[in-house]
Amino acid sequence: MSGVILPRLASPGLRWARRYGLAASGGAIILAWLILAGCAPWTAPFDPNFVDVTDRLRPPSAVHWLGTDALGRDVWSRIIWGGRVSLVVGFSVVLLGAAFGTLLGAVAAYARGWAEEVLMRITDLVFCFPPIILAMAIAAALGIGTLNTMIAMLVVWWPKFARLARSLVISQRALEYVEAAQTVGFGPAHILLRQIMPNALGPLIVLITLDLGNAILVFAGLSFLGLGVTPPSAEWGAMVAEGRELVQQWWVATFPGLAILSVVMGFNFVGDGVRDWLDPHARTR
Amino acid sequence: MPEPAEHPLLAVRDLRTWFLADSGPIRAVDGVSFTLHAGETLGIVGESGSGKSVLAKSIMRLLDEPARIVGGDIMFRGRHLNQLGDAEIRQIRGREIAMVFQDPMTSLNPVLRIARQLVEAMTAHGRFTVAAARKRSIDLLRRMGVAAPDRAVRAYPHHFSGGMRQRVMLAMGFSNEPALLIADEPTTALDVTIQAQILDLLRDLNASLGTAVILISHDLGVIANVCSRVLVMYAGEVVEEGAPEDLLSDPRHPYTWALLHAAPRIDAPLDASERRLATIEGQPPDPRAWPAGCRFRARCPFAEARCAEPPPLSATGPTRAARCWITQDGSSLPPPPRRTAAPAAAAPSAPSAADSPVPMLRLAGVTKHFALARESLFAPPRMLRAVDGVDLDVFKGETVGLVGESGCGKSTLARLIARLHAPTSGTIAFDGQDITTASIAEMRPLRRRMQMIFQDPFASLNPRMTVGDILAGPIALHGLAGDPALRVAELLDLVGLAPAHAARYPHEFSGGQRQRISIARALAVGPELILADEPVSALDVNIQAQIINLMVDLQERLGLTYLFIAHDLAVVRHVCDRIVVLYLGRVMEIARAGDLFARPLHPYTAALIAAAPVPDPRIERSRRRVPMLGEPPSAIAPPSGCRFRTRCPIAAPLCAAEVPLLRPGADGQFVACHFPGAL
Amino acid sequence: MASRLVTACIMVVLASFVVFLIANTVPGDPVLAQLGDLAAANPAVVAAFRHRWGLDLPLWERYWIFLEGLTRGDFGESIASHRPVMQDIAEYGPATVELASVAFVLSLALGLPLGILAAVRRDSWIDNLARMISLVGVSAPTFWLAFVMLAVFYGALDWAPGPGRLDVAAFPPERLTGLLLLDTAWLGDWATFRDAAAHLVLPAVVLASSTLGLITRTTRAAMLDALSQDYVRVARAKGLLARTIVTGHALPNAMLPVVTLGGLAYANLLAGAVMTETVFSWPGLGRYTFRSAVAIDFPAIMAITVIVAALFVLVNLLVDMSYALLDPRTVKT
């Protein structure tokens, strides 16, 4: 091969790291939080609700890694226990919302006609409201509590999945394999659930992953406003609220906020990674 | 090859353009050399993946990452294009070398006016002021045959059809009077009548302006129509080079030979008893690891032991060269052996209406109007008249061809018969049973007897299912007897695939193999009628021939009836017993294949036949041209009277006033024209 | 366009009905929220309270009263503040509009160039920076970011003024529009203008953070998509300058999704200022909404949701109209 000048390419390991490094680190962050929060009784050094006013507002130390709050509770232990709430709420709201929204959108898209019209108008209607305002109104009306807040979030959460599922089904429905299945004689339910949905799953999974962070963020926001958990339960948003006047004792509000940031970024990393992985255009790059 | 005394315009020497992919280099262009003189027309032909488009982009230096010119030299008017900096190559692009791309629908910026896109091409090189460029753009459009050019420049691209857009692209290409125009498959996305118009224009521009042209195409007929010299590419190399007169009558490379014989020709003698085409085995090789020795060896019917050594491109005549050991001594390749027809018992002679009184399929006055979105709340609803009153009978065992340009309603008609759509009016009867309004449940038992093959081999198989599941699904659904796994293996064998392929997913197969799977799926339930919607349009010519041969075989073995939809007249003529010509949702003419081409009665049929290119420059130059005016009108507001009258060269006042009925002509030929046979 | 407007109005009324149903069928009761436990235990007091606010009327009648008021632009009287709801909204609205507008301009001014540069110089340091900024922007909780900003730039460094729209000692200018920057500029009160502007910096940056992230991300993706289109290759083949290709060919196409997002983002900024307003003690609509929600102040909640829904519908309408300007394909021929 005379006269051929090949430029040096980066090693395969480096190229993998460049492409999926962020996604892997995001996955590691999520996994770490799942383990920490899932095994809170063992991983938290202190009882999150143990009040010791003699030990209040201590800066981070060897005993209290992230310091103590105004009631002398260990901030690190409360963050670990608070992670449980955030993760459970995040997963439940997004998975339930996604299941409901996807079903609705997919059925609407496949049914066409008036059924589609009605279902999508309802979706538009809910879409008219900024989620946080509607969730706030509903959460306030239902009364404070984790379950009520989750219900409020669910009410506003499903429409985006309905829209995505609808557009995915519409684009798949135009492909010839769907017509082939109809020509063979398969019924609508089989075609929608067994043939189309597996092909629409990729983008849905991307949205679910990215949205998990979003749901945790909104729930923390509602908690911050006092609508999320009932005190004295540990929750990240509520912890920031408790510490927001304590500018000198910065650790009380800063660390729970960092916890939220890390989880949300973790989900974003993973979501972006999944998207790149599913997108053949980006993959061959 | 003798070098003319003057310096060539373009000299490419041992060019290598590779894609530096993660999994190793893809050697798309791998040692290509050629020269081009001023004013010359050079055709580059080859199937997809042969490297012809990458070669064109390399000359323009329009390569995207990770493609890189890794070796060789491109000399253009004394400059090494491959060594120029970004600013220098920019001054050559559009000014000295212009390029026209395949898809005119996406080549124009949708949010900018035509004028702006033409003007900036001229002002970018400082040859014109904005005012002068503006004036010139109108002149250019007029020169390219765009109607009302002063109005056209103010329009946006979406107002134009594909043919018109390609004229705009040509205007852009010629705007700076370049020395060389590279046209990469400029007519592939267009209908055959529009293709003929664009090729005429290209030839005319070359002759009158003296611009050298490199025309890239997969179609030998297109090349023969325009070019004075041809380069055949295979696996990143030039395998044969010469004048089209020589190459297309006496190919000296087995690949050229195969390309030439695999494509059915519109001027070949017809033989209804033998419809198989000459094909070569297998698929093009993997560009990551070209085979050692001659790259065509594995597929070559003439291969010998010495082909294990890579052959050089050596002269086989005074003005031609081929990369082949066999013809190095100047000998020709033999014509393909006439295949002997299968035993007569299996070969059904073309049946006629008299043999079987009840047609397998009978369409009477079938229409399909699609409601379009209203333009506003109070506007009247708009209707797209996709199919508008079609009568058609298909008899058992015959192959009926459905031809027409895009938008004529041929695919919609197939979907109406398969009852994927419900007709707006008319009746469809399958084997005497009215299925016009049959429900999903009522259709299900009939679906065993009527199946469909689709155009796009990449979209017609569910990517998330294994081939085995794709084939077993229909068997299970219809509760067919026997071991499904055995039946799947049997089906794969029937279409020429291995039983082991059942475990794989569609993306592991090539386009031709996928089309085989698609056929196997249709056969899974043992149908009698197969609706084939452009089954070979998306395939390269050799793969197309393989699939046609397979379909012919299957018809003989299983006694199938085909409704064969295509836009390629030569293919339809070759495989069909009877042909139906559609135009804007209406039947124009129905005739036996031989009769239709020997004496077309409808002017549209005549125009279609005249527009189809033939891979022989001598015939191309002497053929009668049927002038076909403009572009097909919209199916939303079709012309009154005869639908074809707006483009018909012999239209008379009567044609606008009265709809011509489909009337029987001589010898079982039907035509819908007030002046049949007048053209 | 007329039909779009009609549809939009129907959507707003339907939205109000949905909120009305939700608000009235959930167990929350303004009686408990407004009256003390002692008074709530007294049936006579409760009955008087219900009668006073029309809560004893049947549902449909209450909705009818609401609709009737809506036609006159009257949302009734707030249960919490005992003032006409419109008066409350007029008082708190401008503060939020000012904050959201400044934040919106900020996120556009930074996000658009950043997104464009990131797409043009894909995989370069600027691309990585843009991705990092947008990622942190959408991932950081607003309320926490607000706390950190206040703690650092006001508490520790004292570079920025503290919470509120103006210094506690400053006299607010005569109220013209309620937008302090406009009012002070009109009156020529530049000292107060500077004070108001300084107070806007931190909350606007905090509020802009997530919008900035979204705009950067969308711009980058839209530009990447536009740059990969055939017409860009044609533009290169014409020999155009790289700059002309980016600004003249890719950008006009990439603006379409950005405009959609931008419209939605502005509406969301107006609606989503609750957290920022809470931390910065900003006397805006966000905090008013929150207070009304907690107090289950029906008239106020109804008014806010209808206004917000109307705002969203309006923004969508504007986006559609700007589409017609940006994309000739949407104009009917």
Contact state of B462 with A188 under an 8 Å Cβ cutoff: no
Looking at B37-175, which runs of residues are DSSP E strands? 41-45, 67-76, 79-80, 97-100
Overall average pLDDT of the B383-389 stretch: 90
Mean pLDDT for the stretch of residues C56-74: 83
- pLDDT at C52 (0 to 100): 79
Quote the pLDDT of residue B2.
Answer: 43
Identify all chain A residues contacting B462, using CB atoms and an 8 Å cutoff: 177, 181, 195, 198-199
Q: Which two tokens stand for residue A245?
A: 């006047």
Is pLDDT larger for residue C4 or for residue B349? C4
C307: contact with A, CB 8 A cutoff = no
Instruction: Give me the mean pLDDT over the C177-196 stretch.
Output: 90
B464 interface with A at CB cutoff 8 Å: yes
For B109, the closest of C6, C249, C333 (CB atoms) is C249
Neighbours of chain C (3+ CB pairs under 8 A): A, B
Answer for the pair B242, B323: CB distance below 8 angstroms, yes or no. Answer: no
Cα Rg of chain B (Å, integer) = 26
Do B495 and B518 touch, CB atoms closer than 8 A? Answer: no
Contacts with B281 (C-beta within 8 Å, 6 or more apart), sequence order = B298, B299
The answer to whether position C12 is within a domain reads: no
In this structure, the dihedral spanned by the alpha carbons of residues B435, B439, B443 and B445, taken in order and rounded to 10 degrees, is: -130
What is residue C12's predicted lDDT score, i.e. its pLDDT?
80
- Taking an 8 Å cut-off on Cβ atoms, the answer to whether C139 and A261 are in contact is yes
Q: CA B168 to CA A10: how far, in whole Å?
A: 43
Q: Tell me the average pLDDT across C283-309.
A: 85
Residue of B nearest to A10 (CA): B22
pLDDT in tens, B548-597: 999 999 999 999 999 999 999 999 999 999 999 999 999 999 999 989 99
pLDDT of B65 reads: 82
Q: Which H or E element spans position C247?
A: none
Q: In what order do the strands lie in the sheet with B529-533?
A: B450-453, B529-533, B561-566, B399-403, B578-583, B586-592, B670-671, B663-664
Please report the sign of the dihedral spanned by the C-alpha atoms of residue B570, residue B575, residue B581, residue B582: negative
Residues of C in contact with A156 (CB under 8 A): none
In tens, the pLDDT along C23-32 reads 676 666 667 6
Determine the distance in angstroms separating the CA of C241 from the nearest CA of chain B, rounded to an integer: 8
Tell me which of B29-43, B375-389, C209-223 is least confident. Answer: B375-389
pLDDT band with cut points at 50, 70 and 90 for residue B338: low
At B142, the amino acid letter reads R
For the cut 70, the answer to whether the pLDDT of residue B86 exceeds it is yes
Q: Where are the alpha helices (DSSP H) in B157-276?
A: 162-174, 192-209, 220-226, 244-249, 254-262
Window C:123-162, CB contacts with A under 8 Å: 135-136, 138-145, 147-148, 150-151, 155-156
In chain C, % of residues over pLDDT 70: 94
pLDDT category of residue C1 using cuts at 50, 70 and 90: low
Q: Which three-class secondary structure string do you get for B298-326? A: HHCCCCCHHHHCCCCCEEEECCEEECCCC
Looking at every residue in chain A, the average pLDDT score rounds to 87
Q: In terms of pLDDT, which residue wins out, B465 or A10? A: B465
Please determine, for residue B516, whether its predicted confidence score (pLDDT) is greater than 50.
Answer: yes
Contact at CB, A129 and C139, closer than 8 angstroms:
no
Question: b/e for B280-290, b at 16 or more Cβ within 10 A?
Answer: beebbbebeee
ipTM: 0.88
Q: Is residue A7 packed enough to be buried (19+ CB in 10 Å), middle (13-18) or exposed (0-12)?
A: exposed
Return the minimum-mean-pLDDT range out of A233-247, A257-271, B409-423.
A233-247
Weakest mean pLDDT among A187-201, B599-613, C285-299: C285-299
* Interface subset of B 501-530, CB within 8 angstroms of A: 518, 521-522, 524-525
Domain range for C106: 85-305
Q: Do B22 and A15 touch (CB under 8 A)?
A: yes
- Check C329 against B60: CB less than 8 A apart: no
**CA angle, A230 then A234 then A235, to 5°:** 85
User: CB distance from B3 to chain A under 8 Å?
Assistant: no
pLDDT band at C333 (very low <50, low <70, confident <90, very high): very low
pLDDT band (50, 70, 90) for residue A284: very low
Helix (H) or strand (E) holding B385: strand B382-394
Write down the pLDDT at residue C307: 86
Please determine, for residue B339, whether its predicted confidence score (pLDDT) is greater than 70. no
Indicate whether C224 pLDDT > 50: yes
pLDDT at position A285, please? 35
Question: Residues 563 to 582 of B: which have CB under 8 A from any C CB?
Answer: none
CA distance B449 to C198: 79
pLDDT (mean) for C317-332: 78
Distance (Å) from the C-alpha of residue A283 to the closest C-alpha of chain C?
Answer: 14
- Name the residue facing A138 among C15, C22, C148 (closest C-beta): C22
- From chain B, the residues in CB contact with A12 under 8 A are 22
pLDDT, average across residues C84-101? 92
| Share above pLDDT 70 across residues of chain A, in percent, rounded to a whole number | 95
Q: Which of B401, B260, B396, B386 is nearest to B334 (CA)?
A: B260
Q: For chain A, say whether C214 makes contact (Cβ under 8 Å).
A: no
In this complex, do A140 and C135 lie within 8 Å of one another by their Cβ atoms? no
The answer to whether residue C50 sits within a structural domain is no
Q: Which amino acid is at A59?
A: P
Tell me the count of B-C CB pairs closer than 8 A.
86
Statement: residue B334 has pLDDT above 50: yes
In chain B, pLDDT over 90 holds for what percent of residues?
67
Strand partners, B80: B75
pLDDT at B136 exceeding the cut of 60 = yes
CA of C129 vs chain A CAs: smallest distance (Å): 14
Q: How far is A26 from chain B (nearest CA, A)?
A: 24
Domain count, chain C: 1
Strand partners, B321: B241, B315
Supply the CATH number for residue C224's domain.
Answer: 1.10.3720.10
The string of pLDDT tens digits covering residues C114-140 is 999 999 998 889 999 998 999 999 999
Which of B39, B29, B36, B187 lies closest to B100, judged by CA?
B187
Mean pLDDT calculated for residue range B526-538: 93
- Of the candidates A268, A249, A266, A263, which has an alpha carbon nearest to the alpha carbon of residue A64? A249
The confidence band for C42, taking pLDDT boundaries of 50, 70 and 90, is: confident
Q: pLDDT at position B677, please?
A: 83
Q: Is B91 in Cβ contact with C231 (below 8 Å)?
A: no
Give the closest of B25, B440, B450 to A187, CB-based: B440
Q: What is the mean pLDDT of residues C49-72?
A: 82
Chain A residues whose CB is inside 8 A of the B463 CB are 177, 199
Of chain C residues 227-246, which have a CB less than 8 A from chain A?
Answer: 228
Question: Cα(B11)–Cα(B82) distance, rounded to whole angstroms?
Answer: 12
The pLDDT of B168-194, averaged and rounded, is: 93
Contact A221 C11 (CB under 8 A): no
Q: How many other CB atoms sit within 10 Å of the CB of residue B20?
A: 15
- In this prediction, residue C104 carries a pLDDT of 95
Query: Does the residue C11 lie in any domain?
Result: no
Q: pLDDT at residue A260 above 50?
A: yes
Of A133, A217, A257, the CB nearest to C148: A257
Strand, coil or helix: C56 = coil
Residue C195 lies in a domain: yes
Q: Note the pLDDT of residue B344.
A: 41
Q: Indicate yes or no: CB of C328 within 8 angstroms of CB of B158.
A: yes
Structure confidence at residue B347 (pLDDT)? 40
pLDDT at B321: 94
Residue C65 lies inside a defined structural domain of this protein: no
Please state the rounded mean pLDDT for residues A155-184: 92
C249 in B contact zone (CB under 8 Å) = yes
Q: How sure is the predictor about A3, in pLDDT bands with cuts at 50, 70 and 90?
A: low
Indicate whether C79 belongs to any domain: no
* pLDDT of res. B349: 46
The answer to whether C237 contacts B92, with C-beta atoms less than 8 Å apart, is: no
pLDDT at B374: 67
Sign of CA pseudo-dihedral B319, B325, B327, B329: positive
Stretch B318-328: mean pLDDT, rounded? 92
Q: Quickly state the pLDDT bin for B346 (edges 50, 70, 90).
A: very low
Mutate which: A1, A15, A177, vs B, most B CBs within 10 A? A177
- Residues B44-77 have pLDDT tens digits of 999 888 999 999 999 999 998 889 999 999 999 9
Task: Give the pLDDT confidence score for residue B376 in this predicted structure.
Answer: 62
The percent of residues above 70 in pLDDT, for chain B, comes to 95
Mean pLDDT value across residues A61-89: 91
**Which residues in chain C are contacts of A138 at CB distance < 8 A?**
22, 26
Residue showing tokens 């006092």: A226
Asked if residue B97 has pLDDT above 70, the reply is yes
Q: Which of B15, B17, B22, B531 to mutate to test the interface with A (most CBs of A within 10 A)?
A: B22
pLDDT at residue A180 greater than cutoff 90: yes
Q: Identify whether C71 is part of a domain.
A: no
B22/A180 CB distance under 8 A: no
Domains of chain A (ranges plus CATH)? 39-48+59-284 (1.10.3720.10)
**Mean pLDDT, residues B102-112:** 92
Name the neighbours of A, counting chains with at least 3 Cβ pairs within 8 A. B, C
A129, A142, A237 member nearest C26 (Cβ): A142
Contact A175 B448 (CB under 8 A): no
**Average pLDDT, rounded, for chain C:** 86
pLDDT of residue B536: 92
- Between B382 and B313, the higher pLDDT residue: B313
pTM of the model: 0.87
pLDDT of B11-50, one tens digit each? Answer: 999 999 999 887 788 999 999 999 999 999 999 999 888 9
Predicted local distance difference test score (pLDDT) of residue B378: 66
DSSP state letters, B437-483:
T--HHHHHHHHTTEEEE-S-TTTSS-TTS-HHHHHHHHHHHTT-SS-
pLDDT at C310: 84
